[in-house]
Structure 1
Amino acid sequence: MTEEDVGPGSAWFVGEDPVAAIRDGSATAPADWPRIAVESGAAGDRDDYYRRLKDATTAAAREAVRERERADDRQLLHAVRAMDDADRTANELAERLAEWGGSLFDESGSGVEYAREVAGRSPAGPAEDRVVSLARRVVDLAEEARDLESFIEGRAPVAAPNLSALAGPVLAARLVSLAGGLEPLAKKPSGTLQVLGAEDALFAHLRGHAPSPKHGVIYTHEYVRGTRPEDRGSAARALAGKLTIAARIDHYSGDYRPDLEADLDERMRAIRERAAGDEGGPDA
């Protein structure tokens, strides 16, 4: 925006959308904007100009934060954390329920499946009533965790198509959550992505108390978990490298690139063929 653009009807000062002007407007060169605003009649004086500017910039910042928090990757972050919390709480309460239920009922059991059995009982007395009620809460939490997983499986391929294709929707969402968002994940080197979720082991290694971790949460991927222990480091590096590329494509362009999957499959095939060759060597 130039000085010629600023006048009584300028969007910068008196338009209908000052927030858009703050966020998207530009100027070719610095100018004495308070003076221009006063002379154009857009502001009564310099104090009025700065008051209105503060209101517009505050509104623009709030709108930017609102948009960021509603973004798909932020929804994945919240969903995967909520899923983990619901799942963990359900299992913890199921342990408590097993102890309590075992003191009242002839049948014993453990876990959420036992909670389902207890939840279907007709209580006899106040104590049983509370145990059955607790069992139903456990079942509700377990079902909420599964519903959240279904939400993630449907939302992750939209928010991060390449990352989801390579890692699977849930692992992709977990990586986004651990990094704090898709943008921070896209900016991390592959070595950092490789050990996300293994921070305790990494800090222990940095203090000299443990070996360097080879992988973090990506261990749950079949290409790492299903590879023999001596080759898991290579598998984890290969997977982390492709996941890093996928995250960057998802953040900066968003287009789906199936060749990434083919490249990863080929790399993992080479690692596993090498392992098969070692096992079938002369000493086998």
Structure 2
Amino acid sequence: MTDTDDNAGAGWFAGGSPPGSEATGDEGTLRVRIVDGEADEPDDWPGLAVESGFADSRDDYYDRLHDASVAATREAVRERERADDRQLVHAVRAMDDCERTANELAERAAEWAGSLFDDAEPGIEGARAVAEREPDGELERRAVSLAARVADLAAERDALAETIERTAPAVAPNLTEMAGPELAARLIALAGGLESLAKKPSGTVQVLGAEEALFAHLAGRAPSPKHGIIYTHEYVRNTRPEDRGSAARALAGKLTLAARVDHYSGERRETLHEELRERMATIRARAEEGGDGSGSDGGGSDTDAEGDA
């Protein structure tokens, strides 16, 4: 557990403040050594720490090692949560929460407003109209106030969608161009981050969002799902049903490669988009040629996705 600077071989605690001394600002240095340190072979680190004056005893050494390790972990988590892809995950999840809550409250607001106003309409737009009314009495004030909250949540959802559209291209340019900002953000959120998405095989990316159907298939209660959330992409949704499996495999393969390029290099790679367009043109040509869609050549993209990005 040594670091790689001039104190290599002396232990991660080299130069640290002795116990009981006033803080000297070495906490950051010790955290870095905990994270980046290495040693060619083990040593009696507790004994060396006591000899150097860093710790009063072996128990004290382990206490200080625990504190430094916890501090290093907290800092790593803090940095990860502040990463752009994690912020994109928070944004898309908040957008979904706002949309779900707004729709649920809109039903309640419409039911309430309908009992008070003859021309009240259902849905978000109906709530916006009720929110602009001048209430007469306590009950109408509460109904109008609830409708206003629905309108605010809907507006927040729209604002979050605009934020995702602006942020996603900077976080994952190839994935965003290929999937669109919202789908790209959802894939990153479902995978747990851009790095996690980049490390997944294309077969997993293909069924992200279809976990319940996949588990039902594994339990023998349903057929294998052909696609998950990528069904919302026009290349899958607008392809005839018998070709959707091939389309989903092709799209998932290129989405996987796009995520890898975005994570490891961050450079736009036009060849990925050209190859996907050509592959989809081939798949859709089957309909014009009268093919039955039973071919398995759509699986070639899985092999492509496992290659180097």
* Shared fold per TM-score greater than 0.5: yes
> Of residues 156, 178, 194 in structure 2, which corresponds to 1:182?
194
Counterparts of 1:177 and 1:82 in 2: how far apart (Å)?
Answer: 11
Number of equivalent positions: 278
Match in the other structure for 1:267: 279
Deviation at 1:109, TM superposition (A): 1.6
Q: Do 2:120 and 2:130's aligned partners in 1 also have CA atoms closer than 8 Å?
A: no
- CA gap of 1:254–1:4, structure 2 versus 1, over 3 A, is closer
Structure 1: which 5+ residue stretches go unaligned?
A: 280-284
| 1:26-105 equivalences in 2 (<5 Å) | 26-105=38-117
Match in the other structure for 1:6: 10
Match for 2:253: what amino acid? Answer: G
> Of residues 21, 46, 53 in structure 1, which corresponds to 2:33?
21
Match in the other structure for 1:282: none
- Aligned-residue Cα RMSD (Å) equals 2.1
Q: Do 2:16 and 2:54's aligned partners in 1 also have CA atoms closer than 8 Å?
A: no
Partner SS state of residue 26, structure 1: coil
> Of residues 171, 175, 188 in structure 2, which corresponds to 1:163?
175
> In terms of mean alpha carbon deviation, does 27-36 or 146-155 score higher?
27-36
Match in the other structure for 1:250: 262
Match in the other structure for 2:126: 114
> In terms of mean alpha carbon deviation, does 108-117 or 136-145 score higher?
108-117
- CA gap of 1:267–1:127, structure 2 versus 1, over 3 A, is same
> In terms of mean alpha carbon deviation, does 65-74 or 198-207 score higher?
198-207
Q: Do 2:179 and 2:255's aligned partners in 1 also have CA atoms closer than 8 Å?
A: yes
Match in the other structure for 2:300: none
Match for 2:126: what amino acid? Answer: Y
Deviation at 1:40, TM superposition (A): 2.7
> In terms of mean alpha carbon deviation, does 30-39 or 212-221 score higher?
30-39
Q: Do 1:12 and 1:22's aligned partners in 2 also have CA atoms closer than 8 Å?
A: no
Deviation at 1:228, TM superposition (A): 1.5
- Deviation string for 1:57-111 (max 9, x for gaps)? 1111111111112212221222111111100111111112222211111213221
> In terms of mean alpha carbon deviation, does 225-234 or 138-147 score higher?
225-234
Q: Do 1:11 and 1:21's aligned partners in 2 also have CA atoms closer than 8 Å?
A: no
Deviation at 1:4, TM superposition (A): 6.7
- CA gap of 1:266–1:124, structure 2 versus 1, over 3 A, is same
Counterparts of 1:208 and 1:56 in 2: how far apart (Å)?
Answer: 49
TM-score by length of 2: 0.83
Partner SS state of residue 255, structure 1: coil
| 1:111-260 equivalences in 2 (<5 Å) | 111-260=123-272
Deviation at 1:220, TM superposition (A): 0.8
Q: Do 1:12 and 1:21's aligned partners in 2 also have CA atoms closer than 8 Å?
A: no
- CA gap of 1:238–1:260, structure 2 versus 1, over 3 A, is same
Q: Do 2:128 and 2:148's aligned partners in 1 also have CA atoms closer than 8 Å?
A: yes
Deviation at 1:43, TM superposition (A): 2.8
Partner SS state of residue 54, structure 1: helix
Deviation at 1:185, TM superposition (A): 1.8
Counterparts of 1:153 and 1:64 in 2: how far apart (Å)?
Answer: 28
- Deviation string for 1:221-240 (max 9, x for gaps)? 11111111221111111001
Structure 2: which 5+ residue stretches go unaligned?
A: 19-24, 292-309
> In terms of mean alpha carbon deviation, does 169-178 or 255-264 score higher?
255-264
Partner SS state of residue 103, structure 1: helix
Match for 1:80: what amino acid? Answer: V
Counterparts of 1:109 and 1:67 in 2: how far apart (Å)?
Answer: 47
- CA gap of 1:125–1:58, structure 2 versus 1, over 3 A, is same
